[in-house]
Every structure is written in C-alpha cells, then in structure tokens.
Amino acid sequence: MLPAFAVMNTTWALFYLGNRAMRLTLLASSAAWIWNDLLWDAWPALLAESMAAMINVRTLLRLHRACDEQGEMPAINAPLRNVE
C-alpha cells in the first residue's frame, strides 16, 4: 500500500504541480518510501530515500528564505527563482 501511495504521489507531483507544491508532495512520497524501507529492512534504499528527502527539505528552506528576502510569498505553482 505504501509504495503505491508513493508512486502515485510522485507521478502527480512531477507532472501536475509547480515547484513548491511538487517538493511538498515528494516529501510525503519520501515518508511513505522511508517507512516501507524500514518495514522491510531495505537499508540501501532507506539511505537513498533519506538523502532525497533531505535534499527536498533543503530546497524548500532555501525557497522559503528567498521568498522572505523578497517580501512576498509566490503562488504555490510559482517556479523556483534564483536563490543563490
């Protein structure tokens, strides 16, 4: 059940959502995959999915900081701006 949820979320996120919403949805998928990997003791997959989740969290934090600096909150489908 968890892998099916994660695959559907990932597909929905990549094809239908903007950057910020996509990354939030991918975090939900990552949580499902991480739980599944823990359940089945799939340690290499757990490591890989944990890294992917950390990258998504880092990107979301950078996106949020960029919005704070500009004094505006973009629409949920707004593309990622240059935050460096």
Is position 30 within any domain? yes
Cβ(48)–Cβ(25) below 8 Å: no
Cβ(37)–Cβ(49) below 8 Å: yes
Express each pLDDT in 17-76 by its tens digit.
777 788 888 888 888 889 989 999 999 999 988 998 998 888 888 878 877 777 655 555
| Domains contained in the chain, number | 1
Nearest alpha carbon to residue 6 among 38, 29, 40? 29
Is position 31 within any domain? yes
Is position 28 within any domain? yes
Domain membership of residue 60 as a residue range: 19-67
Is position 11 within any domain? no
Is position 50 within any domain? yes
**Look-up: residue for tokens 């999915």?**
49
pTM value? 0.68
Nearest alpha carbon to residue 29 among 4, 61, 58? 4
Is position 9 within any domain? no
Write the single-letter amino acid at 38: L
Question: In this structure, what DSSP letter does residue 41 have?
Answer: T
Is position 62 within any domain? yes
Between 6 and 56, residue with greater pLDDT: 56
